[in-house]
Structure 1
Amino acid sequence: MTTVTNTSGPASRRAGGLRRNIIGWLFLAPAVGLIGLFTITPFLQAIELSFQNWDGVSPDTPWVGLDNYRFVFAYDAFWASMRNVAFFAIIGFFAGNGIALAMAVAVHRITRGRTFFRTVFYLPGVLSVVVVGLLFSSMLAPQSGLINNLLGSLGLESLQQNWLGDPDIALPAVAAVFVWFHWGFGFLLFLAGLQDIPAEPYEAADLDGAGAWVKFRYITWPHLAPVTTIVSLLTLLAAMQIFGTVQVLTNGGPGYHTMVPTLLIYGEAFTNHRYGSAAAMSVLFGGALVLLSLLQLGISQRRSRA
């Protein structure tokens, strides 16, 4: 009598799972190595430097303990920059994402000219930061700018402003440029998400006599939840890390009314040559970005489980 041995038992399944895990980690190894080399290692070095005093030239890096952090916590410009970047994040999150979603819904509904509008709405995202900065610097110039000239030609001289030089207006003006510059990426993601929604729920809603708002509220918006999470997180991170737009438009002025942490850190290190305090700012600001990302991901996971 011949005995057949079963080779598909738990041991063979465990061996197959282990083999798949090893293969997976081998594919991930290059990416993990690059992240460790160019992200984790510099961040750890920044933490070490934040406890030292270095001018960027001297070979000596004396240990100063928490002095750099005491300086940062008492530095009004740093907290002003944090408030400004929070303003950019709020404007980008609500206004930027709202405009991107509205444009995506409008383009998704039309049947003619979709390619044209898709290209036009995404066009700002392909421009260079310097080009965008110079373009809007010219448009918002107080004397020869297009905006003030247009207001003057319409008889609205009372609305003409020094858009980038008035402390009360400069921050909203730069935020508007940020929204225009970054809405294209969110627009494309929202449009892709809309195209993935099946037609059956809309057909059933039409049979029930549901209006446009009801279909958006109970069909479109729930199906866009994963895309909304990604767009929101990327928008918040882009707003928090804004640098080039502010540097070209106002360089943080007037005063510190449009200063942002990335620009302040840059100036502290490469202009003031205080690398220790710049590193302390980087650690605090980087920690805030990590906490923001974890919070956003936690909210999205809780929403997906609900």
Structure 2
Amino acid sequence: MTTLPVRPRSAKRALRRSLLGWAFLAPAVALIALFTITPFVQAILLSFQSWDGVSPDAPWVGLANYEFIAGDQTFWASMRNVLVFGAVGFVAGNGIALAMAVAVNAITRGRTFFRTVFYLPGVLSVVVVGLLFSSILAPGSGVLNRALELVGLGALQQNWLGDPDVALPAVAAVFVWFHWGFGFLLFLAGLQDVPKELYEAASLDGAGRWARFRSITWPHLAPVTSIVSLLTLLAALQIFGTVQVLTNGGPGYHTMVPTLAIYNEAFVNWRYGSAAAMSVVFGGALVLLSLLQLAFTGRRWHP
């Protein structure tokens, strides 16, 4: 069996298309190199130096910054805390967003209203959300404690943001409320792409709601679920503004997260080298978790 040689005109056309594609990609590649790759490389270099943010000299200290953060209890406490945010955002956040999307997709009247209401938290600023929930969760005069008192549950009143035992779950609940709108819209868009004929055929076969969801809805939402899960997980692990406004890492360090710890190390303690080392360790953990999550979802949805 002989193969026909590629015509020169076809080869030139393929080369021209390739060059045209790279020409369109060049601005984006340049921006990524300037604002992502370059700062990342500079952060790695700074993690081996000692700099206070003011002095013109930044002496090379080798692994001293990494040795410092290895014994920094605040940083590792923040890493443990952010795993809680990641788990809550990944499980509860995605579960609530999916449940709301399924409920809104099932109704015919009022869909626009509920779609707006459920997405509304996502358009608010972090400061607005922080001030709102600071008043809701305030001890004594807070809206939540007042509501518990009115329904006869006054014994459950708490200092929601000041009690070490409940501060982390309280902030995690605020995060879920603040971020569920994005996943809700993506799930809702994915549900509207599922062919209606499949549901009609399943109903004729006697399949119930759970059977239809498990056999039709869930498999068709696989690509959307992977995207929403990854984005929600990354948002939860990189949480900053919500924690800073509500608790600033307190009480003690019970709600401290890595992004806030890095911020304090650089802009409060003026130790940019150790802050850069923290960012390298945390960034590496984010990349590793992202790869593991993508590998897991890819193996699950494409056996």
* TM > 0.5: yes
Deviation at 1:304, TM superposition (A): 4.2
1:248 corresponds to which of 242, 245, 249: 245
SS at match of 1:112: coil
1:21 corresponding residue in structure 2: 18
1:217 corresponding residue in structure 2: 214
1:100 corresponding residue in structure 2: 97
1:143 corresponding residue in structure 2: 140
SS at match of 1:122: helix
Residue 123 (structure 1) aligned with residue 120 (structure 2):
yes
| Aligned residue type for 2:153 | L
Deviation at 1:168, TM superposition (A): 0.4
| Aligned residue type for 1:240 | L
Size of the aligned set, in residue pairs, is 300
Give CA-to-partner distance per residue, 1:229-283, whole Å, 9 cap, x none. Answer: 0000000000011000000000000000000000000000000000000000000
Pairwise CA RMSD of aligned residues?
Answer: 1.3
Task: Tell me the distance in 1 between the aligned counterparts of 2:152 and 2:193.
Answer: 47
1:157 corresponding residue in structure 2: 154
Residue 12 (structure 1) aligned with residue 4 (structure 2):
no
Task: Tell me the distance in 2 between the aligned counterparts of 1:290 and 1:10.
Answer: 44
1:286 corresponding residue in structure 2: 283
Task: Tell me the distance in 1 between the aligned counterparts of 2:12 and 2:87.
Answer: 50
2:235 corresponding residue in structure 1: 238
Task: Tell me the distance in 1 between the aligned counterparts of 2:15 and 2:194.
Answer: 37
What are the equivalent positions in structure 2 for 1:74-89 lying under 5 Å apart? Answer: 74-89=71-86
2:294 corresponds to which of 293, 297, 302: 297
1:277 corresponding residue in structure 2: 274
Deviation at 1:200, TM superposition (A): 1.8
| Aligned residue type for 2:152 | G
Residue 265 (structure 1) aligned with residue 229 (structure 2):
no
| Aligned residue type for 2:102 | V
Task: Tell me the distance in 1 between the aligned counterparts of 2:301 and 2:19.
Answer: 30
2:50 corresponding residue in structure 1: 53
5+ residue gaps, structure 1, are 1-6
Task: Tell me the distance in 1 between the aligned counterparts of 2:25 and 2:7.
Answer: 27
1:198 corresponding residue in structure 2: 195
TM-score (norm 2): 0.97
Task: Tell me the distance in 2 between the aligned counterparts of 1:304 and 1:162.
Answer: 44
Task: Tell me the distance in 2 between the aligned counterparts of 1:152 and 1:304.
Answer: 48
Deviation at 1:10, TM superposition (A): 4.3
Residue 30 (structure 1) aligned with residue 27 (structure 2):
yes
Larger CA deviation: 177-186 vs 285-294 = 285-294
Deviation at 1:225, TM superposition (A): 0.3
Deviation at 1:15, TM superposition (A): 2.6
TM-score (norm 1): 0.96
Task: Tell me the distance in 2 between the aligned counterparts of 1:57 and 1:45.
Answer: 17
SS at match of 2:34: helix
SS at match of 1:197: coil
1:166 corresponding residue in structure 2: 163
Task: Tell me the distance in 1 between the aligned counterparts of 2:29 and 2:289.
Answer: 22
Deviation at 1:297, TM superposition (A): 2.1
Larger CA deviation: 147-156 vs 55-64 = 147-156
Give CA-to-partner distance per residue, 1:170-227, whole Å, 9 cap, x none. Answer: 0000000000000000000000000011112112111111111011001000000000
Residue 182 (structure 1) aligned with residue 187 (structure 2):
no
1:4 corresponding residue in structure 2: none
5+ residue gaps, structure 2, are none
1:3 corresponding residue in structure 2: none
Task: Tell me the distance in 2 between the aligned counterparts of 1:21 and 1:55.
Answer: 47
| Aligned residue type for 2:133 | F
Task: Tell me the distance in 1 between the aligned counterparts of 2:198 and 2:153.
Answer: 48
| Aligned residue type for 2:43 | A
SS at match of 2:103: helix
2:69 corresponds to which of 68, 72, 81: 72
Residue 42 (structure 1) aligned with residue 39 (structure 2):
yes
